[in-house]
Each structure stands twice: as structure tokens, then as C-alpha cells.
């Protein structure tokens, strides 16, 4: 008997075998079905899918025998991976100097062997798809071709399982990072709100203090501080709303009348019927009320903030088709230029517009709205005309 040598690229090969994370794993039907099929096609009692570890031959699938591994130094597969041919065949191991007196020949009557090296895209042989018989024999051309073809499918299955595992790991890492980011954003935002509130209160006290001796320039500087603090507060509030919005997606759907949904939005904004209008609709719909309400609140809030008309007006409408709930929020506000309408849903984009108080927006609200709608399997669109108004239409999957 001659022990198989190690390939020249053994360290690289072993590293690759371990990367697939298949050593010492439980049997899987995907692989067992292959070895059963191969045994049938080649008319042999034993069919294996093997992985060559440092000092053993691990049998990922074993048809016809019960063992799960054997020493590498007596393995036929150790010899098979050393050859560049597509298939390695030993017709009678008793007559081959490499296997004469091999324990597998004496103990398991491994007389005939045929193995196809399982090479990955880099040409590294991870193991074999192999068959054994207890008597000398030959394979037909069709059987050889089938064995080589099926071996390629084994490698494809290896790669599929590896990619699925890496994808699952990446997804979990992304979820963990996102959770940490949410926690960080929430923690920092809350910590910043308290000192900001103090700054705003102190500037207000300074301006209102009796017998104020501040110069005109000093008052102007205080106003700048107050405006900057207010802008930062709006950013912080926007960030908090954005990260809390995702939590709304976990809320269960519920039945709610359209009129009740719209009335709750009206109450939140303290609007009378003169400024807030809806088409009467008592239909009962099954939706994520919390998430849809948040979308409507944000859109109505924008409709009011960016409306310089003497009598601002917001109109809410609802319709549906076979697949979607369709909501629209229409205002008679300032409108958005056509060349800026594609940009309004991008994070931190405010189109340099100022609200009725002369302050610029944060560019977080509409980004949050689009994110929520997308995760509710819907879309949102905008139609707008300067000095006429805007209509935001969004859909929610049923």
C-alpha cells in the first residue's frame, strides 16, 4: 500500500474546505439523494460524497455504508484529488500497488473505485463524488459522463449552501448594526434635547429680562443662537421620528373606518373643517393603522408648514383597487418646482424651501414617509404646481 501524498496547495485547499463549513455536519437529504441516484446509475452498492480534512476523509453523504469518516492515509480519495483527470478509476485494487494490503480492501472489500474530484472555481479539490464495488468492473461511457456531470452539481450545491450561509450572516450583521444604530441615534438624540432646551430657555430669558442692557448687536447674536438651537432641535426630532417609525411596522393590522382614521389626523393637527376636508367615506379597511397614521400626519404637517395662503387647506382622499389602498393628501400651498420634485424624498434634502415661519426644513420627514410606505409594500408619488399646491399619493398593499 502507498499512502497518498498531500497536494502542493494543501494549506490553501484545507482552508477552502473549512470555509464551506460542511465538516462534521449532519446528513442532508440534498446530498443523500445524489449518492442514491449515483449508486443506481452506476449499479454499485456504495456511493459517497467526501471531504478531505487534514487527517481524515469525512463522508458528507454515505450510501451503502454506515461509517462517517475514515483515515486519510488509507483513502482512495486521497489519491483521486492528486490527479488532474476528470475521473480517477481503480478497476481492481487488489492488483494495484497503491492499494494492495489497504485495510479498506481487506475489511470492506473495496475492490473497484471511481472518484471524481470536487473542484471549486479556483481548481481546489475539496473531496470527491465516488463509488465502490466489491468486485472488479468497468464503467460505461454514459456512467462516467453521468458521474462527472453530477459531481459538478455537488459543487454547485456546496456553493449554494455557502452563499446562503454568508447571506444569512450578512443579514444578521446588518440587523445587529441597524439595531445598534437605532439605539445610538435614540440615546444621543435624547441626550442632546435637554441641553438644547436649556439653551433655548436661557436665550429667551435674556431677551425678556427687565432693564435689559444688551446692545442691539448682542440681541442679534442671541437671536442667531436661538435660531440655530431651534434648527438643531428640529433635526433631532426628525431623527427620532425616523428611527421610531420603523417600530410602527411591527404593529399588527386592524380594522378601522376611513372617517375615523382621517378624523384622528385632523384632531392631532387641531384643524377645523374649514382648513381640513375629506370625502365622506365610512368604509372599513384592514391596515397597519399606526404606520399609515404616521404617514398622513407627516404629509399633512408638510402641507400646512409650506403654505403661505391666507386660508390654507388640506384635503384627504381614499380609494382602492384589487391590490392596494390608495391615499392622497392635497394642499393649496406653495408648490414645488418641477425640477425639484424628484429630490424631495431624499434624506436631508429640503430644496432650500422655508416654511411659514421662515425656517428651512430638515429633509428627514419625506424620507421617513417614503421609507415607511416602501416597507408597507407601496409607492408614493408627487404632483405639484407652483402657487397652486401639491398632491402626495401613496399606496399601501392589502
Q: Report the mean per-residue pLDDT for the chain.
A: 87
pTM higher than 0.75: no
Lowest mean pLDDT among 24-28, 217-221, 224-228, 277-281: 224-228
Cell of 275: 382648513
Last-in-domain residue among 169, 194, 227: 169
pLDDT in tens, 196-207: 677 777 777 777
Last-in-domain residue among 169, 188, 217: 169
Per the structure, the count of domains in the chain is: 2
Q: Identify whether 182 is part of a domain.
A: no
pLDDT recorded at residue 203: 77
Last-in-domain residue among 136, 151, 169: 169
pLDDT band of residue 80 (cuts 50, 70, 90) is very high
Contact 136, 111 (CB under 8 A): yes
Average pLDDT over residues 96-100: 92
Looking at the fold, whether 17 and 165 belong to one and the same domain comes out as: yes
pLDDT recorded at residue 215: 74
pLDDT band of residue 55 (cuts 50, 70, 90) is very high
Looking at the fold, whether 277 and 395 belong to one and the same domain comes out as: yes
pLDDT in tens, 246-284: 677 777 889 999 999 998 888 887 778 778 888 888 889
Name the one residue in this structure whose C-alpha cell is 450572516.
Answer: 169
For residue 317, the domain's CATH number is 3.30.565.10
Q: What own/partner pairs with CB < 8 Å and gap ≥ 24 does 256-262 have?
A: 256/284, 256/285, 256/287, 256/289, 257/282, 257/283, 257/284, 257/285, 258/282, 258/283, 258/285, 258/318, 261/285, 261/289, 261/292, 261/293, 261/296, 262/296, 262/316, 262/318
pLDDT band of residue 240 (cuts 50, 70, 90) is low
For residue 81, the domain's CATH number is 3.30.450.40
Q: What domain range is 64 assigned to?
A: 10-169
pLDDT in tens, 169-188: 888 888 877 776 666 666 66
pLDDT in tens, 350-393: 666 666 666 666 667 888 889 889 999 999 999 999 989 999 99
Amino acid at each position: 500500500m502507498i499512502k497518498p501524498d498531500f497536494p502542493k496547495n494543501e494549506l490553501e485547499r484545507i482552508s477552502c474546505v473549512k470555509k464551506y463549513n460542511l465538516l462534521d455536519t449532519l446528513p442532508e437529504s440534498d446530498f443523500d439523494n445524489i449518492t442514491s441516484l449515483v449508486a443506481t446509475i452506476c449499479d454499485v452498492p456504495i456511493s459517497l460524497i467526501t471531504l478531505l480534512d487534514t487527517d481524515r476523509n469525512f463522508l458528507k453523504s454515505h450510501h451503502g455504508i454506515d461509517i462517517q469518516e475514515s483515515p486519510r492515509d488509507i483513502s482512495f480519495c486521497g489519491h483521486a484529488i492528486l490527479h488532474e483527470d476528470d475521473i480517477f478509476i481503480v478497476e481492481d485494487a487488489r492488483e494495484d500497488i497503491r492499494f494492495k494490503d489497504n485495510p479498506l480492501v481487506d475489511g470492506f472489500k473495496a475492490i473497484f473505485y471511481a472518484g471524481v474530484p470536487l473542484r471549486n472555481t479556483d481548481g481546489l479539490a475539496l473531496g470527491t463524488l465516488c463509488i465502490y464495488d466489491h468486485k472488479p468492473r468497468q464503467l460505461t461511457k454514459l456512467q462516467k459522463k453521468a458521474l462527472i456531470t453530477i459531481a459538478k452539481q455537488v459543487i454547485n450545491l456546496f456553493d449554494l449552501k455557502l452563499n446562503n450561509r454568508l447571506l444569512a450572516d450578512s443579514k444578521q450583521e446588518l440587523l445587529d448594526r441597524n439595531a445598534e444604530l437605532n439605539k445610538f441615534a435614540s440615546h444621543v438624540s435624547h441626550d442632546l434635547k435637554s441641553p438644547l432646551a436649556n439653551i433655548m430657555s436661557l436665550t429667551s430669558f435674556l431677551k425678556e429680562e427687565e432693564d435689559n442692557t444688551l446692545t442691539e448687536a448682542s440681541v442679534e447674536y442671541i437671536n442667531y443662537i436661538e435660531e440655530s438651537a431651534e434648527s438643531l432641535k428640529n433635526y433631532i426630532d426628525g431623527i427620532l421620528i425616523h428611527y421610531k417609525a420603523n417600530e410602527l411596522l411591527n404593529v399588527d393590522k386592524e380594522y378601522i373606518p376611513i372617517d375615523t382614521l382621517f378624523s384622528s389626523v385632523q384632531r392631532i393637527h387641531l384643524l377645523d373643517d374649514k382648513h381640513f376636508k375629506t370625502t365622506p367615506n365610512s368604509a372599513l379597511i384592514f391596515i397597519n393603522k399606526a404606520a399609515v397614521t404616521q404617514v398622513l400626519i407627516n404629509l399633512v404637517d408638510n402641507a400646512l408648514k409650506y403654505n403661505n395662503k391666507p386660508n390654507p387647506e388640506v384635503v384627504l382622499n381614499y380609494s382602492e383597487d384589487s391590490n392596494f389602498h390608495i391615499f392622497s393628501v392635497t394642499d393649496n400651498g406653495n408648490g414645488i418646482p418641477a425640477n425639484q420634485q424628484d429630490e424631495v424624498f431624499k434624506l436631508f434634502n429640503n430644496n432650500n424651501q422655508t416654511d411659514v415661519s421662515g425656517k428651512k426644513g430638515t429633509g428627514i420627514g419625506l424620507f421617513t414617509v417614503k421609507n415607511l410606505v416602501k416597507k408597507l409594500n407601496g409607492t408614493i408619488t408627487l404632483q405639484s404646481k407652483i402657487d397652486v399646491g401639491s398632491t402626495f399619493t401613496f399606496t399601501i398593499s392589502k
